Amino acid sequence: MTRQARSAPLPAEDPERDTTGPRSLTRLLGLFDVLSLTQNGMSLAELSATLAAPKSSLLNLLRPLVAEGYLIHSEGSYRIGPSIIRLSASVMSAWNFPKMIRPFMEELVERTGETVLLGVLNREAEAVAFVELVNSPHPVRLQVPVGTVRPLYASPTGWLLLAFADKGFRDAYMASVQFKIKMPAGIARASITREMAKIRTEGVCSSIDTPIAGVGSVIAPVFDGNGECIASLTVAGPADRFRKDMDLLRATVKELAARASGVVGAVQPSMPPISSRTG
């Protein structure tokens, strides 16, 4: 079967001999790494300068990648192609993020006795979605079904995810958000902004009776290998139990979130945003 052309021809330069071995593999991974960070693509000269590799050696890698659809070559620039996007989707479907984090959630329940939730940021909905849950063994405990979604402004978990989101998204959200859910007195743009600054400094968020009376919570971020916050671990339960042990709870949640971050960073240093869709 004849393969249809997927892009414009590559430059007709005489390449050096094929580069083989670990250096070739490193350059291949480097290509995908740098091209994944740009929407407009990069020229051969830009790739050569960025990767500190000869143009002729890069051409030996680029030609088969373009032919197989892993890269697109158009108007002198190279961009990520459909084949690598399909491959990435397959890898991510096999890499079950909640399953990877669940052991840390179970340890948190064992050490704190409280319910633990895994939260992710849904940028389109401007909300936090809870995608995994391990219940407290206590008969009196917080009940939050998996799939629950809360506006960012209406949840301490949302405050933390917003605090560690990129500044552009955070500023745009705070400038335009409308409080459609009635909030307790004192919860407004200014107070949430101050709380987010505190969260970024301390690396953890804790609340009692705010914004929901009778509920206490402690939340810490989970980072990927690039230092991007991709999720949160929330320990939540009756406020009275949190008043007694807040310092210990904060330290414990920070510890487990840091350990989870280490595992995530080792397995997937730069992962795409986690889907918060539940159906």
Bridge partners (DSSP) of residue 206 are 218
Give the per-residue pLDDT at 94.
56
Query: pLDDT tens-digit profile of 217-251?
Result: 999 999 988 899 999 999 999 999 999 999 999 99
Give the per-residue pLDDT at 98.
84
Instruction: Say yes or no to pLDDT of 18 above 60.
Output: no
Token duo for residue 83: 């084949």
Query: pLDDT tens-digit profile of 190-216?
Result: 999 999 999 999 999 999 998 888 999
Query: pLDDT tens-digit profile of 24-36?
Result: 788 888 898 888 8
d(CA 183, CA 53): 56
Q: 185-201 burial string, b = 16+ CB within 10 Å, else e?
A: eebeeeebbebbeebee
Band of pLDDT at residue 99, cut at 50, 70 and 90: confident
Say which CATH class 95-267 falls into.
alpha beta
Token duo for residue 85: 């996007």
The residue assigned the tokens 């995810």 is: 161
Bridge partners (DSSP) of residue 129 are 120, 149
Closest CA to 127 of 148, 144, 145: 148
Band of pLDDT at residue 266, cut at 50, 70 and 90: low
Query: pLDDT tens-digit profile of 54-93?
Result: 999 899 899 999 999 999 999 999 998 888 877 765 665 5
Give the per-residue pLDDT at 258.
96
Q: What is the DSSP string of 236-254?
A: EEEHHHHHHHHHHHHHHHH
Give the per-residue pLDDT at 269.
42
Give the per-residue pLDDT at 171.
95
d(CA 192, CA 194): 5
Give the per-residue pLDDT at 203.
97
Band of pLDDT at residue 106, cut at 50, 70 and 90: very high
Q: 67-85 burial string, b = 16+ CB within 10 Å, else e?
A: eebbbbbeeebbbbbeebe
Instruction: Say yes or no to pLDDT of 148 above 60.
Output: yes
Query: Taking the domains of the chain in order of start, what are their residue ranges?
Result: 22-90, 95-267
According to CATH, the topology of domain 22-90 is: Arc Repressor Mutant, subunit A (1.10.10)
Q: Which has the minimum average pLDDT: 108-117, 145-154, 232-241?
A: 145-154
